[in-house]
Amino acid sequence: MKSPMICLALAAAMCGGMSARAQNVPLVPAHRPVASATPVAESIVARVNGAGLSQKDLQHEMRSLFPYSDVHKGRVPGQYSAEVRQKALQQIIFDELVHQEALRRKMTVSATIYADILKQAKSRFPSKTEYEAYAAQEYGSTRGFEKQLRRGILIALLVDREITQKARMTDAQLRQFYTANQKRFQKPESVWVQSISFHFPEKATPAQRAQARQRAATILPKAKAAKSFEEFGQLAEKYSEDDWRIMMGDHRWLHRGRLPSAVEDAAFRMKKDETSEVIETSEAFVIVRVNGKQAATRIPYSQVSKSLREDMEKAELLDLRTQFEKQLRSRYKIEELP
């Protein structure tokens, strides 16, 4: 089975990193095109150990970072330009740092892997003619494209070795974190409630508040007489003055912090199938029915292991990338030009 990093390198080499970023893989480098078939004088935006990165390289990467550039005639809108430019500049510098480090380590791409990936690249085109036309347009020639593809694979291999593989978490590491951070995996106490609300204006007069309270008091005996979710819900549909009425007043399961404090305090004190007295809040007089209660419980490891692995590996990826880039920047000379 081929390394996913290598497959992403192929996609990135063919479309300027768009495939990798679309999959939220920020560590896969975007691969810049080589000189075009009709070279033009281009300004240099940065140098890494003397190797120049051109304005064309930068623009290519900016289009990769801003997927809607085609909608804006191939440009990044002004309000995003400075931010995207800076991110793109740092990305192409990082790519070149990794490439030069791979060469320093005398890393090579095996003939078998290279031939296989090149075959995959060519298979994306309906014909040899279309492949050659694309290569000439984007990379100057088929030779230029294949050179860029080899460069992309080298970068992906080193990123895979120094970042991706090291970021992988073992089950033992995940379980250790789960055990040491029990509060993070605690499902809070929750309550299932329905409500009937009687609102008064924001700056209500005493008389208006009294009218709202009277409406609630009139319905309270009926609400307390309701013996089921359906009976209480029918009252909510008919009398409630809030948006929950179309849902039979049903709020489903809620934990603390999701209801007005007075309603919340009452609901968490009540028993299942119990209906409250009239509760006053800053906006309304409310009657609530409790349909169910759940105590705080610890979420089983089996239910969180997948998301926990994703979160921890993502954090480790970013940390390792930062460390690796810092190491490379201390080893190579970088010049950012205005």
Burial bucket for residue 180 (CB in 10 Å: 0-12, 13-18, 19+)? exposed
Q: Does domain 4-176+306-336 correspond to CATH entry 1.10.3300.10?
A: no
Does the predicted TM-score (pTM) go above 0.85? no
pLDDT band at 30 (very low <50, low <70, confident <90, very high): very low
What does the pLDDT look like over 119-159, one tens digit per residue?
A: 999 999 999 999 999 999 888 899 999 998 999 999 999 99
Nearest to 192 by CA among 293, 265, 274: 293
**Which CATH number is correct for 189-295, 3.40.50.970, 3.30.43.10, 3.10.50.40, 2.40.50.140?**
3.10.50.40
pLDDT in tens, 224-250: 999 999 999 999 999 999 999 999 999
Percent of the chain past pLDDT 70, that is, above it, reads 83
CA dist list (Å): 293 to 46, 187, 253: 62, 13, 8
Domain coordinates of the chain in residue numbers? 4-176+306-336, 189-295
**How far is 158 from 101, CA to CA, in rounded Å?**
8
**Residue 333 backbone dihedrals phi, psi, to 5 degrees:** -85, 125
pLDDT at position 2 is 47
Number of residues assigned to the chain = 338
pLDDT given for residue 274 in this prediction: 97
Nearest by Cα to 58 from 23, 87, 38: 87
Considering the chain, what is the average pLDDT of its residues?
Answer: 86
Residue 211 to residue 217: CA distance in whole angstroms = 10
> What pLDDT is recorded for position 139?
84
pLDDT digits (tens, 9 = 90+) for 160-200: 999 999 999 999 999 999 999 998 999 999 999 999 999 99
More reliable by pLDDT, 323 or 4: 323
* Residue 4: pLDDT over 50: no
| Contact indicator for 207, 201 with CB cutoff of 8 Å | no
